[in-house]
């Protein structure tokens, strides 16, 4: 076989591959799945418990917090943590050791080993 015949066969093999590759859209997209967006947008503030201190007091020590005080019986409502306010359909969920607390943060006196989390959650997903 001479050089010309090898080149001719190479072109016959390579050309369809080039055309096929050219018809494919190899441009990366910026599309992200909704689940990935939600995960990256989750806001969580956490801290370890200190024996004998209520969770709200320690939250105020650790982070910049804005609250609304509803007085005796209802206590304080967290409006912002670290300058982040919940959206219209969200609230700051108070969790201890991964579970939603069954008392308010001002009433929960922490123990050594407790992990407190404040996470933005959608209303109704509680």
Structural domains in the chain, CATH included, are 39-122 (2.170.130.30)
pLDDT band of 124, cuts 50, 70, 90: confident
Residue 110, pLDDT > 90, answer yes
Q: Model-level pTM?
A: 0.63
pLDDT tens digits along 95-104: 999 999 999 9
Tell me how far CA of residue 39 lies from CA of 45, 60, 77, 86, 122, in angstroms: 15, 26, 25, 16, 13
Angle at 122 between CA 118 and CA 126, to 5 degrees: 75
pLDDT band of 20, cuts 50, 70, 90: very low
pLDDT tens digits along 26-38: 444 444 434 433 4
pLDDT tens digits along 44-56: 999 999 999 999 9
If we measure between CA atoms, which residue out of 106, 102, 97, 48 comes closest to residue 77?
106
């Amino acid at each position: 076989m001479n050089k010309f015949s090898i080149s001719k066969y190479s072109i016959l093999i390579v050309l369809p591959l080039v055309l096929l590759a050219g018809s494919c859209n190899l441009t990366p997209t910026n599309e992200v799945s909704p689940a990935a967006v939600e995960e990256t947008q989750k806001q969580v503030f956490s801290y370890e418990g200190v024996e004998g201190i209520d969770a709200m007091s320690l939250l105020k020590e650790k982070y910049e917090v804005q609250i609304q005080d509803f007085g005796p019986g209802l206590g304080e409502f967290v409006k912002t943590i670290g300058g982040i306010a919940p959206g219209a359909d969200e609230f700051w969920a108070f969790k201890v050791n991964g579970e939603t607390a069954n008392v308010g943060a001002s009433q929960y006196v922490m123990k050594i080993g407790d992990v407190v989390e404040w996470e933005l959650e959608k209303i109704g997903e509680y």
